Structure 1
Amino acid sequence: MGLGFQVTFDAHDPARLAEFWAVALEYELQPPPPGFESWEQFGRQIGLPEDRWDAFSAVMDPEGEGPRIFFQRVPEGKTVKNRVHLDVNVSQRGLALDKTAERRQIIAEHVERLKALGAAYVREVDEPNGYCIVLQDPEGNEFCVQ
């Protein structure tokens, strides 16, 4: 078995991106550690300065199988195209490969949900080796919905 990993996003607003990606991936926001009712309570307990309480957020696969996605506040903005991006595979749940119309409908519905949360449409990719819609999350990170 390979090593576990998490994916880390630099962000201006970690909480907003975490909420967006929780919907995009059908993940859930990571709850505070056991024994703490909130992340603020945890931050206070470990001596984290109050201005850093909103500097981090994370989402997790509710089944515990996918990687944790971590969002950390950074001062600089995004300036170039992503060198790595996520592919969100919404159309591969139990559909045969020949169900093109159904797959595209599932993709379109998920894209509309994400646009309502602040995603921006970039382009549609329709090639012999696959179909997807490229979007940007609320902070401009590109990803594909397929």
Structure 2
Amino acid sequence: MGIRLGSVVINCADLDVMTEFWAAALHLAPGPVVDEGRFRVLRGRRVNVSLQVAESPVGARDQMHFDLYTDDQAGEVQRLLALGASHVRHDHDPSDDYVVLTDPEGNEFCVCAVTEGA
């Protein structure tokens, strides 16, 4: 599988308004609201847009980030670190295992573990 862009995550204040706009703008199908009403994936054929309610006012630098999907999370994290990324944290949730890294300019992105065929 290697690594692929799985979702662009947009931090927002109003999940319903953003769902209506992005689903219509990009012809995406809204998934269920999860994480206590704070997160929703809008699904497309090739890429997803995820909406996430921000805990603080959204600024330009933290508006969105990449989620990269891979079936070799450890290997890809090591490869990206060797390219100049920095490690922020690893969230070990059985249903959502991801590593947060930053690029050389400090922009965060996630490397998400997925099973074959996901």
TM-score clears 0.5:
no
Please identify which structure carries the higher strand content. Answer: 2
Quickly name the TM-score band, shorter chain normalised: 0.3 to 0.5
The structure number with the bigger radius of gyration is 1
